[in-house]
Structure 1
Amino acid sequence: MKPMVQPMLLLLMGAAILRVSLFSDICLRYVKEGLQPFLIASGLVLVGCALAGALPQGLRFIRRRESTGSVPAVAAPGPDGHEHAHVPGIAWLLAAPALVLLMFAPPALGSYTAARDSPKVVEDYDHFKRLPAQGPVPLSLTEFTARVQQDRAKSLQGRTVVMSGFVTPGKGGRWDLTRLLVACCAADSQSLTVPMHGFPAPPADTWVKVTGTWHPSGALGTASAAPALDVRSLERIPPPLSPYKDQPPAP
């Protein structure tokens, strides 16, 4: 490989990683929040390796130019002592994802993935915290589902709850409030959905905050209860910084 091609590719890849992890939070569209420091470290290592590889070649280029008075063709010496210029074509494939991240960062996963994904099974809760005595209760989709199907005290009976997520359209005008949850990165995402009733479907992938009450279906507090909501009001909101982190909406 030409001497300067390797450092250039490493620099390009390092710059792309730092662009989405150090200089912005775009990386949270692809990995969970805890991996961001590791991406920053990886980007810095790649940039450091690129500079370490480019510096000797640059000095060598300058010394040759000073000694010959012209710009030499720089190439790496081969095993026979002669210089060759061979660039494996496959190496340039490394530049493609780096250029994509530098010029156009793909969005986070949304309704297309959720509609084709296997639903996430909510784990059993050991106990539930006491809800506030009055007012709407902010809940994550995970806690809402767990309380509907596991809370024997039926704490959601008659209570107004507030949840946030993005819109996944269904058939016949039906739609779901959805969050995608990841264990590591977007590749292992699983969808968590709550069907919405009594309100027209907003456009797909719109992030919304909904207020409503449990839609009676099955026995509340048992596995027969359907985690669904009768929507009373809806507010469009901007996508959260961490789209794969299921948490209660801000007041």
Structure 2
Amino acid sequence: MRRYGPAILLLLTGAAILRISLFSELYLRYVQSGLRPYLVVSGAVLVLLGAAAGVVRWRGRHADEEYEEGHGHAHPGPRPAWLLALPALALLLFPPPALGSYSAGREAAQRAAQGVGTFPALPSGDPVRLTLAEFSSRAIYDSGRSLKGRTVRMTGFVTQDDDGTWYVTRLYVTCCAADATTSKIEIRGNASSGHPPTDAWVTVTGTWRPKGELGSDAAWPPVLDAGSVVRVKQPLDPYEKR
């Protein structure tokens, strides 16, 4: 069987890529949706290469056997090479979860690379559905205070500090999970008590509580006085887009 190791490794890797990109939406845990066609093509090419390599190995088996009869035993490849198949097999059977509170906790206070200024008016009607990045930018940099008096609704996962302060958090990406950065909102108010456990997904509805001077470190992270906190399922695409 060691003769077919490279072919099996190609097949496992290709099958794993196809599993997360063609037969499910799991690829959204790692890359943006626009990269799906490239993943599908890559997976298909790897499967074809693996199949072709297997056929070549099978056809060459008889020649090797004849060589062994005339010249002694051939030297098989090293056994540790099979360990290379383990990551591909793990991805095929047990795809890792999306980034969560651990990744968010490693991120320092990230804020939008922009100065204080005015923002476009929010849509009419409450509550207004916003991403965490949109809320954070307006809370920290909007000199027009467009959030004042408005009820907003956002979805993210729970993170918390050692002192019990908790946040609704979201990771946002440019290309893939490797470049993910953090946006988080501190949750206060009557609905903030008894929050769900870390990494649970929630939808929060509430009003902005001004904090600190615009554009300063004291304004981060922004604060939401929550009127309701509802536990929800993780979205199909867990990341916000820049």
Q: CA RMSD in A?
A: 2.8
Deviations 1:146-174 (A, max 9, x none): 11122221111111111111000223321
Letter matched to residue 52 of structure 2:
A
Question: 1:95 aligned to 67, 82, 85, which one?
Answer: 85
User: Is the Cα contact below 8 Å between 2:174 and 2:241 reproduced in 1?
Assistant: no
Tell me, in whole angstroms, the C-alpha distance in 1 between the residues paired with 2:74 and 2:109. Answer: 55
Residue 204 (str. 1) matches residue 194 (str. 2): no
Matches within 5 A, 1:99-178: 99-124=89-114, 128-178=119-169
Deviations 1:3-62 (A, max 9, x none): 42221221111111111111111122122323322222211111111111222343556x
Tell me, in whole angstroms, the C-alpha distance in 1 between the residues paired with 2:56 and 2:132. Answer: 55
Q: Displacement, 1:176?
A: 0.8
- Structure 1 window deviating more from structure 2 (39-48 vs 238-247): it is 238-247
Count of matched residue positions in the alignment of Structure 1 and Structure 2? 235
Tell me, in whole angstroms, the C-alpha distance in 2 between the residues paired with 1:24 and 1:246. Answer: 20
Matches within 5 A, 1:14-29: 14-29=14-29
Deviations 1:211-238 (A, max 9, x none): 011123224x554544111111011111
- Alignment partner, residue 184 of structure 2: 193
Letter matched to residue 78 of structure 2:
P
Structure with greater helix share of residues = 2
- Structure 1 window deviating more from structure 2 (48-57 vs 87-96): it is 87-96
Question: 1:180 aligned to 171, 189, 192, which one?
Answer: 171
- Alignment partner, residue 11 of structure 1: 11
User: Is the Cα contact below 8 Å between 1:3 and 1:76 reproduced in 2?
Assistant: no
User: Is the Cα contact below 8 Å between 1:166 and 1:206 reproduced in 2?
Assistant: yes
Letter matched to residue 239 of structure 2:
Y
Identity level (%): 46
Tell me, in whole angstroms, the C-alpha distance in 2 between the residues paired with 1:205 and 1:77. Answer: 59
- Structure 1 window deviating more from structure 2 (139-148 vs 3-12): it is 3-12
- Alignment partner, residue 48 of structure 1: 48
- Structure 1 window deviating more from structure 2 (223-232 vs 145-154): it is 223-232
Tell me, in whole angstroms, the C-alpha distance in 2 between the residues paired with 1:75 and 1:108. Answer: 48
> TM (normalized to structure 2)?
0.85
When residues 74 and 3 of structure 1 are mapped into structure 2, their CA distance, relative to the original with a 3 A threshold, is: farther
SS of residue in 2 equivalent to 1:171: coil
Tell me, in whole angstroms, the C-alpha distance in 2 between the residues paired with 1:169 and 1:97. Answer: 32
- Structure 1 window deviating more from structure 2 (223-232 vs 141-150): it is 223-232
Deviations 1:79-138 (A, max 9, x none): x98772422334323211111112211111111221222232213277633212332111
Q: Displacement, 1:2?
A: 4.5
Q: Displacement, 1:75?
A: 6.2
Instruction: Identify unmatched segments of 5+ residues in structure 2.
Output: none
Greater Rg, structure 1 or structure 2? 1
When residues 120 and 89 of structure 1 are mapped into structure 2, their CA distance, relative to the original with a 3 A threshold, is: farther
When residues 183 and 132 of structure 1 are mapped into structure 2, their CA distance, relative to the original with a 3 A threshold, is: closer
